[in-house]
Amino acid sequence: MAPSEFEDWTRLEQDLESGIKLVPLTQNHTNALISAFTDDSSSVRIAMPWLDSSLSIEFQISTFIVDVTSGPNSNHYHHWVLIDTDTDEIVGLIGFDVVRFRTVERKSLSRGIHWNLGYWIAPDYRRRGLASDSIDIMINIAAKCGVDVVQLSANPLNVGGIITIRSAVQRHGGINSEFGVELIEDNEGNMVEYEAYWILTGE
């Protein structure tokens, strides 16, 4: 797929049936996203285990947004904010980190593109199917971008997250990742075994 087509799909707004809009993340969203995160810092730190507990969330999120939207490696990140169209509030974040490698399952393909998908939903908007609907849209986008594998992983202590990704794996015919778990270092320096799955989206 041509690079221009690849980029176009990662920059489009998407609509959920629930009146929530997925809008590509920009630096204009910084203050609103920080405000949303500050109200739910504990689950944000689970969703973003790289956050340093000794530093303010405000500084780290501001830096993160600059990095993923305009930094030298910004083409390796694709993120959308979930916006309630009735209130214009940011109620979630979902996005990809781009990794390129040749998986066992896709070793016959030359490109071997792998995207890691993560998300966060504000507490008042959970249990409404927003995460599941957004994940389905992301899987579709990844497929249209010529991606071979989308990885979903969740902290084993995040019961809701585990249920959500297992459901997505079942809907999309996913499999256990090559290693079954993903070792992620949390903000305290501990290595945590995240439950990890692959959804194969390549042709």
Domain harbouring 81, CATH code: 3.40.630.30
Model confidence pLDDT, tens digit, residues 33-53: 999 998 888 888 878 888 888
pLDDT of residue 203: 64
pLDDT at 2 over 70: no
Position 5 scores a pLDDT of 44
Residue 173 CB neighbours (<10 A): 8
Q: What is the pLDDT of residue 95?
A: 94
Query: Does residue 195 have a pLDDT over 90?
Result: no
Distance CA 147, CA 103 (A): 12
Whether residue 108 is predicted with pLDDT greater than 60 in this model: the reply is: no
Is it the case that residue 114 has pLDDT exceeding 50?
Answer: yes
What domain count does the chain have? 1
SS3 category, 64: helix
For residue 71, give its domain range: 3-200
Q: List pLDDT tens digits, range 144-191.
A: 888 888 999 888 888 889 999 999 999 999 988 766 677 776 666 778
DSSP-assigned letter for residue 127: T
Q: Is the pTM of this model over 0.95?
A: no
What's the gap between Cα 10 and its chain centre?
A: 12
Q: What would the mean pLDDT of 101-115 be, rounded to a whole number?
A: 58
Q: Residue 106 above 60 pLDDT?
A: no
